[in-house]
Structure 1
Amino acid sequence: MSKQEVCDVVIIGAGPSGAIAASILVQAGWNTVVLERETFPRFSIGESLLPHCMEFVKKAGMLDAVNENATKLGFQFKNGAAFFRDGARSEFDFEDKFSEGPGTTFQVKRAAFDKVLADQAAKYGADIRYQHRVDNVVTTEDSATLTVTGPELSYELKAKFVLDASGFGRVLPRLLDLEVPSDLFPRKAIFTHYKDNIAKDAPFDRNKILITVHPQIEDLWYWLIPFSDGTCSLGVVARPECFNDTQSLEDQLRAFINQDTNLASLLSEAEVLQPARMIGGYSANVKSLYGPSYALLGNAGEFLDPVFSSGVTIAMRSAVSAAELVTRQLKGEKIDWQKEYAEPLQKGINVFKTFVTSWYDTSFQNVIFFQSEGAEIKPMITSILAGYAWDEKNPFVKDAHRGIRMLTKLCAD
């Protein structure tokens, strides 16, 4: 092991939250090292961004880079979400929302998108080290020391603060024994990319993610995320017992597609571009989102469910908030991480969680497919679907549980 290196901030993971946090920190003047286990580009899901994400991309100084690369990388303009259930359709236009802020975004291939963000952070001065794995960490009130294995050697890296942006890798929760079980029901997802070959006159809007509910199994659903180059991401999410371990993942995915007439028609000519993958046990939680000289960002802290594409939004928001707080702390301010970071972030997470839970018990599904165009209510729901789960001017954010109960009663009446 070589001699110990020293920097101001270490970030574990170069995905969206890590790249955004690094960009903000280096622009504030802090010597920031990003340790990334993989080599970019690398595959990842979480491809349907929400409009609220664009505020954080802009704050990190990355919006121009994303816009300039969108066309050549197949990023698809996105202005809303479409839902389908057993013949019923419902659409939400994100520009017709209650909350202020962007109303459009992109559906992205994460391998390319994440590399754009990481490259931009590096241009600002972040020291991004690929194929560097964190094996151990020791934190005190004023520093963190990480044991790191790189391609050629192992070394220690000491910093004044460490941010965990490792996503599903959940490095600090594992090393510091922070993990606790999620209270969400365990589910699995099978997914892949297709050349979709969807006919231009088909009843399908490429500017929107399509979320389809299985015609018989109400808590089984599909995502169809189109990209601008004629390809798409397709996945199915269900309880573990709904899957058949005797079949290949590709055969299971195609069988699920064929069980819905609309999806089967849309994807009748689809060509598989890569082997199907499965993830399970992704819903997770932790004892605390922060501790002495560290904080957890995005999925490293709490991940809910892919149904409303909230993961990247939560990750980006946590990155901006934590980076700004770290800057203040390193300048000598006393930061209350509970009141200034954990509690505000958790408010929006809890809003998403309420709607995720009500999606699976079908009460929010019934709201989605309720055909009355409530002039006042629909924009408020649209705001949450667009990611604005922290806007407490929205009654359905301020008291999400009461809002769901009210909406459920309205639909029943």
Structure 2
Amino acid sequence: MQNTDVVIIGAGPSGSSAAALLRQKGYQVTVLERQYFPRFSIGESLLPQSMVFLEEAGLLECVREHVEQYAFQFKDGAAFLRGQQRSFYDFTQKSAEGPGTTWQVRRAQFDHLLAQQAEHYGTEIRYGHTVTAVDVTLKQPILTVQDEQQNSYQIQAKFLLDASGFGRVLPKLLDLERPSDFPVRRAIFSHVEDGITHHQASHPEFDRNKILITVHEKDHRAWYWLIPFADGRASFGVVAEQDFFDQYALKDPDGQSKDTYEADQLAALFQRILADDPSLSALMANAKFDTPMRTLVGYSADVKHLAQDNYALLGNAGEFLDPVFSSGVTIALKSSSLAVPLVDQVLQGHAVDWQQQYEIPLRKGIEVFRAYVEAWYSGEFQDVVFSSQQNAQIRRMIASLLAGYAWDETNPMHKNAKKRLATLAELCREGVNQGPSIEMVYEGT
């Protein structure tokens, strides 16, 4: 039986940041990572709030040092496109304290950098090791692990953190999963040579420093992301419910939708969808789709609880909402920032109320993101984003949330976000002067 202070499942951003924070406190940390790095991952558009957590974990400088080498793109905001409508938010013009800029990154290199820095701090990362069973009934959990040679071994830890992301190791092994209340959506995506840098004059509204979110002109439930990198390439994808994709699917002789989701058919499906949006098609007219398309379906997830006395779930292993506002990495890093001081208390023999000290505080910000995701698909937040009836104060509050400051309780939109957002959408739709009406938003009435 092997022993260590803390076992972390997964070496993604939440795992690496948790490991780095624990090493600052002197604990022995073993990370079990099923894959080998670098490896492909989506979620390339960071939010400025994440910079705070990266710096706290001692990981920011290693990213900054490799910005040019890996063509990480400076990011200062978000741009929105719907037909002929345009809207831009500058994250430096926000109400929250903290950084207003960040990067758009290839996650293969970004995640590898964080993991390497965690190793530099003394973390042991075992790549190609898969957790096959876990026993959390003991005070100190025991994990059964299979290495790359198919050999099994057991390791016991004083505390266990699950940072396995979409792998969701503990939720599956401990039957913690519960259905998300979000509709099932599919994403189709890839990295492309976008061709935009050579035709900038034709698209003066395009800004490489901003993620571009485009609402499908014919179906406002569907949207595209375009996340530029600094070398003329970009992450490009479309998200929608299945019935949207069925409209574009190839038909068999009986008129039924064929299974168009094999690897060699995804690109054709994506091209048919893209061709139906004139504005985005014009912007991407010179793009080269030189990398195989990928797809994810039913990615939204939730769990019965995020922690118990001897284990906790970090980031996407606990809950994943939707990619629309790029909240995944920020939530992952926030979860590590919240959890590690509590793990420290446990290892020092102190009692921790994980519900009150971890789950409730973490979910406060997640629920703010949730309100905006839900309002995006219902159309309320789209009406806000594209409205010309926004005063500077409202724009600063929205910019703060888009920049990831979902835990900023000084932002009036933080408390009862769903109701306040509905009020703001109503004002925008009615074209009300928001100067006199701003108190309605503050009060959520």
Q: TM-score, normalised by structure 2?
A: 0.91
Q: Is the 8 A contact 2:192 2:289 kept in 1?
A: yes
Match for 2:132: what amino acid? Answer: D
Deviation digits for residues 367-389 of structure 1, max 9, x if unmatched?
A: 00001341211100111100001
Match of 1:174 among 151, 172, 175: 172
Match of 1:346 among 341, 355, 363: 363
Q: Is the 8 A contact 1:213 1:220 kept in 2?
A: yes
Cα distance in 2 for partners of 1:181, 1:342 equals: 18
Q: Which residue of 2 aligns with 1:200?
A: 200
Q: Is the 8 A contact 2:387 2:429 kept in 1?
A: no
Q: Is the 8 A contact 2:80 2:88 kept in 1?
A: yes
Q: Which residue of 2 aligns with 1:6?
A: 3
Q: Which residue of 1 aligns with 2:438?
A: none
- After superposition, the Cα gap between the structure-2 partners of 1:401 and 1:373, relative to the gap in structure 1 and judged at 3 Å, is closer
- 1:143 and 2:174 equivalent? no
Misfit runs of 4+, over 4 Å: none
Listed as ranges, the matches of 1:24-39 within 5 Å are 24-39=21-36
Q: Which residue of 1 aligns with 2:157?
A: 159
How far 1:396 moved relative to its partner? 0.5
Further displaced range: 11-20 or 251-260: 251-260
Cα distance in 2 for partners of 1:222, 1:366 equals: 17
Q: Which residue of 2 aligns with 1:264?
A: 281
Cα distance in 1 for partners of 2:310, 2:286 equals: 53
Q: Which residue of 1 aligns with 2:268?
A: 251
Deviation digits for residues 196-232 of structure 1, max 9, x if unmatched?
A: 1112222310000000000010100000000001100
SS in 1 for 2:361: helix
- 1:312 and 2:329 equivalent? yes
Q: Which residue of 2 aligns with 1:55?
A: 52
Q: Which residue of 1 aligns with 2:252?
A: none
- Number of residue pairs matched? 410
SS in 2 for 1:69: coil
Cα distance in 2 for partners of 1:65, 1:160 equals: 29
- 1:296 and 2:313 equivalent? yes
Q: Which residue of 1 aligns with 2:433?
A: none
How far 1:101 moved relative to its partner? 0.6
Structure with higher Rg: it is 2
Give the root-mean-square deviation of aligned CA atoms. Answer: 1.0
Match of 1:83 among 66, 80, 83: 80
Cα distance in 2 for partners of 1:71, 1:215 equals: 36
Which blocks of at least 5 consecutive residues in structure 1 are unaligned?
Answer: none
- 1:66 and 2:83 equivalent? no
Which blocks of at least 5 consecutive residues in structure 2 are unaligned?
Answer: 250-257, 431-445
Cα distance in 1 for partners of 2:24, 2:392 equals: 43
SS in 2 for 1:70: coil
Match for 2:363: what amino acid? Answer: Q
Q: Which residue of 1 aligns with 2:290?
A: 273
How far 1:412 moved relative to its partner? 2.2
Q: Which residue of 2 aligns with 1:97?
A: 94
Q: Which residue of 2 aligns with 1:410?
A: 427
How far 1:141 moved relative to its partner? 5.7
Cα distance in 2 for partners of 1:81, 1:380 equals: 14
SS in 2 for 1:307: coil
Match for 1:272: what amino acid? Answer: F
Match of 1:20 among 11, 17, 20: 17
Cα distance in 2 for partners of 1:331, 1:140 equals: 20
Q: Is the 8 A contact 1:141 1:292 kept in 2?
A: no
Cα distance in 2 for partners of 1:351, 1:62 equals: 26
Match for 1:329: what amino acid? Answer: V
Q: Which residue of 2 aligns with 1:231?
A: 233
SS in 1 for 2:32: strand
Deviation digits for residues 123-166 of structure 1, max 9, x if unmatched?
A: 00000000000000001362110000011321000001110000
Listed as ranges, the matches of 1:120-131 within 5 Å are 120-131=117-128
- 1:325 and 2:342 equivalent? yes
Match for 1:362: what amino acid? Answer: G
Q: Which residue of 1 aligns with 2:378?
A: 361
SS in 2 for 1:200: helix
- 1:399 and 2:416 equivalent? yes
How far 1:331 moved relative to its partner? 1.4
SS in 1 for 2:98: coil
Q: Is the 8 A contact 1:170 1:299 kept in 2?
A: yes
Q: Which residue of 2 aligns with 1:45?
A: 42
Cα distance in 2 for partners of 1:220, 1:342 equals: 31
Cα distance in 2 for partners of 1:57, 1:378 equals: 26
How far 1:292 moved relative to its partner? 3.2
Cα distance in 1 for partners of 2:114, 2:153 equals: 26
Deviation digits for residues 49-79 of structure 1, max 9, x if unmatched?
A: 0000000110010111000001110100000
Q: Which residue of 1 aligns with 2:254?
A: none
SS in 2 for 1:306: coil
Match for 2:267: what amino acid? Answer: E
Cα distance in 2 for partners of 1:250, 1:23 equals: 39
Cα distance in 2 for partners of 1:184, 1:395 equals: 25
Match for 1:216: what amino acid? Answer: K
